[in-house]
Amino acid sequence: MKLTIEHLQKSFKDKIAVNDVSFTLEEGIHALLGANGSGKTTLMRMICGIMKADQGIVKMDDIAILQNYKEYTKSLGYLPQNAGFYMDFNIESFLRYIGVLKCLKKDYCEQKIDELLTRLNLQDVRKKKLKHLSGGMMQRVGIAQALLNHPKILILDEPSAGLDPKERIALRQLLSHVGKDTIVILSTHIVSDVESIADDIMLMKQGQILFKKPLPDILQGMSEKVYEINGNEQAIRAFEQDYTIVNRKTDGNIITIRLLSDHKPCAQAIEKEPNLDDVYLSYFREENAYVETDLL
Ligand SMILES: Nc1ncnc2c1ncn2[C@@H]1O[C@H](COP(=O)(O)OP(=O)(O)OP(=O)(O)O)[C@@H](O)[C@H]1O
């Protein structure tokens, strides 16, 4: 299966939200990583066919999705960023309702609901009304409805929003299983969500995809550009003025900083293995004062 995006473009008045984006995806987990406002949601909505592109086309197996949209939606699972679900439903009746909308057979639907509620750890609360769920539970219900029709293309807009660290780990495990036979596109601005599971990473900035590469290739491009330096407050302050700082740790009077530099910044600097946080900051240094990660 192949999903092809060709020269997609979308503007809102004079703001270009998605600017001439093209790529091809096959089965696997494809992370769309970018700062807030970089165009991820707009791009995903066009790939789902719920927002019309100004220019460009989305094709599944070389057929334009809008040419056979009904068939396409049968293959599609979508978790929107701010899903407006019917809050008076309880979880299982909500999922049954989605099953009807997706024209699923009753037996299949019941079995799939059971399976998903178990995998997403929602069995105990299946009778609870949506309006009484926590943010993390709600997000898991959103993920369940997206997976209900066993989609061939799964599009998840910020799926880990509202999840606690344990739920994030469970989501990563679920997605790496799903990604074996599904095209998964997952947007996030949180590096640690995708570092361990994405087959490739598309970095999006100001409406454009800067690159689409597997993580090892991305990291290769950052070798000899990440350094660690220890020192007292005064010594470290000088480096903080001149370099992009990825991390700062204080231990008594000694401060350790991790910084980005095209050259070794001083004799005692220790070269470090690059990670995705380093890559992200090197592209978004002006937009983010810090990198949001589970690991800091
Ligand atoms: N319906 C709209 N009307 C006007 N401008 C919009 C609309 N939707 C998006 N934009 C603008 O387009 C740009 C891209 O927004 P988009 O929501 O696609 O980015 P994003 O990467 O998903 O950001 P976030 O992570 O904050 O959701 C932003 O400048 C946003 O303000």
Whether 188 is in the pocket of ligand 1, judged by its Cβ within 6 Å, is: no
181: its two tokens: 């036979």
Mean pLDDT score across all residues of the chain: 90
Q: pTM of whole model > 0.95? A: no
Centre a 10 Å sphere on the Cβ of residue 206 and count the other Cβ atoms it contains.
15
Q: How far is CA 101 from CA 74, 148, 166, 185, 266, in A?
A: 10, 11, 31, 22, 62
Per-residue pLDDT of 35-65, as tens digits, reads: 889 999 999 999 999 999 999 999 999 999 9
Q: Whose CA is nearest to atom 2 of ligand 1?
A: 12
- For domain 3-219, the CATH class is alpha beta
3-state secondary structure of 29: strand
Query: Best mutation site among 40, 45, 156, 185 for ligand 1, i.e. most ligand atoms within 8 A of its Cβ?
Result: 40
Rg, C-alpha atoms of the chain: 21
Beta-strand relationship, 76-79 and 63-64: unpaired
What's the CA gap between 46 and 19, in Å, rounded? 12
Whether 212 is in the pocket of ligand 1, judged by its Cβ within 6 Å, is: no
Report CA(36)–ligand 1 centroid distance (Å). 8
User: With a cut of 50, which residues of the chain have pLDDT below it?
Assistant: 288-296
* pLDDT the model gives residue 162: 81
13 CA: nearest ligand 1 atom? 4
Whether 12 is in the pocket of ligand 1, judged by its Cβ within 6 Å, is: yes
* pLDDT the model gives residue 296: 31
- Per the CB < 8 A criterion, the answer to whether 202 and 30 are in contact is yes
Per-residue pLDDT of 227-265, as tens digits, reads: 999 999 998 998 998 999 999 999 998 999 999 999 999
Report CA(96)–ligand 1 centroid distance (Å). 32
What's the CA gap between 202 and 215, in Å, rounded? 10
Query: Best mutation site among 10, 38, 44, 280 for ligand 1, i.e. most ligand atoms within 8 A of its Cβ?
Result: 38
Report CA(33)–ligand 1 centroid distance (Å). 14
Among the listed residues 154, 145, 139, 140, the one whose alpha carbon sits nearest the alpha carbon of residue 47 = 154
Report CA(188)–ligand 1 centroid distance (Å). 14
Q: Whose CA is nearest to atom 6 of ligand 1?
A: 12
Report CA(187)–ligand 1 centroid distance (Å). 13
Report CA(143)–ligand 1 centroid distance (Å). 22
Report CA(38)–ligand 1 centroid distance (Å). 7
Centre a 10 Å sphere on the Cβ of residue 162 and count the other Cβ atoms it contains.
15
- Per the CB < 8 A criterion, the answer to whether 141 and 122 are in contact is yes
Compute φ and ψ for 16, nearest 5 degrees: -85, 110
204 CA: nearest ligand 1 atom? 21
45 CA: nearest ligand 1 atom? 18
Whether 17 is in the pocket of ligand 1, judged by its Cβ within 6 Å, is: yes
Query: Best mutation site among 9, 13, 15 for ligand 1, i.e. most ligand atoms within 8 A of its Cβ?
Result: 15
